[in-house]
Structure 1
Amino acid sequence: MGRTRGFYVDTVQRTTPADPAAVWAVVEGIGGERGWYSTDRLWAARAVPNRLGLPPGQLRHREDPDHLAAGQRLDWWTVEALEPPRRLRLRSLVRMPGEAWLDIGLEPAADGGCRYRQTTVFRPAGAAGRAYWYAMLAPHQAVMGRLASDVLGRAGG
């Protein structure tokens, strides 16, 4: 975990022997009816404040189960950037004292596998945002580590 120009940044990085195309297919297929793998309930619980005033089923949303496009909504995120098969950046729609992004990147390795990098960026809004970041840091790191393991496990890595 680091801090850069007022942003808090936390990165999970792993190497895998899995084919980069297989890893990308899992990354691009995340969310919607498939959920967020073993962390699905935790993500959904964190998004509960957004359920206030929404009809049942409104929070989980995905246009296409296999492909994403920039600007689309993905559950409680907006797809902010998509560069298949290298990068997916999501912007959080969850109410919090600040703004958050989840960036997933893949780099092919010389041996045929790839390096998987999952970065969370948080821009806190004042003291409440800074307190929120530190209060959520331990559960956040557990969920993000598990998400990375799930993605790579489903891709065969």
Structure 2
Amino acid sequence: MSGHRPGARLLPLAAASAVPALYVLGVRPRLLTWGATPQEATRSYPGDDLVPDAGSSSTMATTLPAPPERVWPWLVQMGGDRGGWYSWDRLDHFGEPSAERIVPEWQTLEEGQRLEVAPDGQTWFTVAVVEPNRTLVLRSDLKLPSGHSVESWSGPLPRAYLDGIWGFHLRPSPGGGTRLVVRTRGRGRPRPLVRTFDLFVGEPAHFIMQTRQFQNLRRRVGAAV
């Protein structure tokens, strides 16, 4: 007869179950609202209505050392085929460094314009909302499992898809700076698979890339002041 207590075998299982629970209940809420005040995290923003029944959402924020009109030119020139995304360039800009200066040729942006994500031209963001010096909302509609973009959904939604927005909202802050609030909203099918992916891959990855973008934007904007 074994000398181990019956409950001893359950300890590793209990510990393994506690880790995801700790992440979901303790860590995840902080990732999804990193840097944002409660008011910023709970208010609505232009573009939210584009994904009305979102299965996932985040609101992250930072303060940049320049007024909105000095921050806007850096945002408006984003794009894989333009100034990059100011994040981890090896991961999201084909290894090319993001722009370190304002480029006049990239200062025009219109609703409906595509911003490349992948060099093969099959994945892109579509500019959904443009309010100069205030709001820029990018939308992504992807077919699964290919991950390729579509122009827009017409008719019933497909059985497997991802639909989301990435919104940048600029507001003046005391001392001549800018509060940059970034709101994401997403939905997709099959919901159990998309939800699991978001929880343990998509949301952590967004946190890593978004905080890096904040850091790099702060450096660029500060250097240009």
**How much does 1:44 deviate?**
4.8
Corresponding residue of 1:8: 56
Secondary structure of 1:132's counterpart equals: helix
Cα distance in 1 for residues equivalent to 2:194 and 2:172: 36
Q: Percent identity?
A: 30
**How much does 1:137 deviate?**
1.9
Corresponding residue of 2:148: none
Secondary structure of 2:222's counterpart equals: coil
Corresponding residue of 2:195: 130
**How much does 1:88 deviate?**
0.3
Corresponding residue of 1:141: 207
Corresponding residue of 1:40: 89
Q: Are positions 1:77 and 2:122 aligned together?
A: no
Q: Are positions 1:87 and 2:135 aligned together?
A: yes
Q: Are positions 1:156 and 2:225 aligned together?
A: no
Corresponding residue of 1:100: 164
CA contact (8 A) 1:9 1:119 kept: yes
Secondary structure of 2:66's counterpart equals: coil
Give the alignment's TM-score, normalised by structure 2. Answer: 0.55
**How much does 1:89 deviate?**
0.3
Q: Which has the larger radius of gyration?
A: 2
CA contact (8 A) 1:23 1:152 kept: no
Cα distance in 2 for residues equivalent to 1:84 and 1:44: 24
Secondary structure of 1:70's counterpart equals: coil
- Runs of at least 5 residues in structure 2 that lack an aligned partner in the other structure: 1-31, 34-51, 95-104, 117-123, 145-160
- Runs of at least 5 residues in structure 1 that lack an aligned partner in the other structure: 46-63
Determine which structure has greater relative contact order: mean sequence separation of CA pairs < 8 Å that are 6+ residues apart, divided by chain length: 1
Cα distance in 2 for residues equivalent to 1:93 and 1:124: 10
Q: Are positions 1:24 and 2:89 aligned together?
A: no
**How much does 1:40 deviate?**
2.8
CA contact (8 A) 2:128 2:138 kept: yes
Out of 166, 177, 181, the position equivalent to 1:113 is 177
Cα distance in 2 for residues equivalent to 1:6 and 1:122: 5
Equivalent residues, number? 138
Secondary structure of 1:33's counterpart equals: coil
Q: Where in structure 1 do 4 or more consecutive aligned residues deviate above 6 Å?
A: none
Amino acid at match of 2:164: A
Secondary structure of 2:82's counterpart equals: helix
Cα distance in 1 for residues equivalent to 2:53 and 2:125: 24
CA contact (8 A) 2:68 2:170 kept: yes
Which has the larger share of strand? 1
Q: Deviations over 1:41-82 (max 9, x none)?
A: 32257xxxxxxxxxxxxxxxxxx5222111100112000110
Amino acid at match of 1:70: E
CA contact (8 A) 1:72 1:79 kept: yes
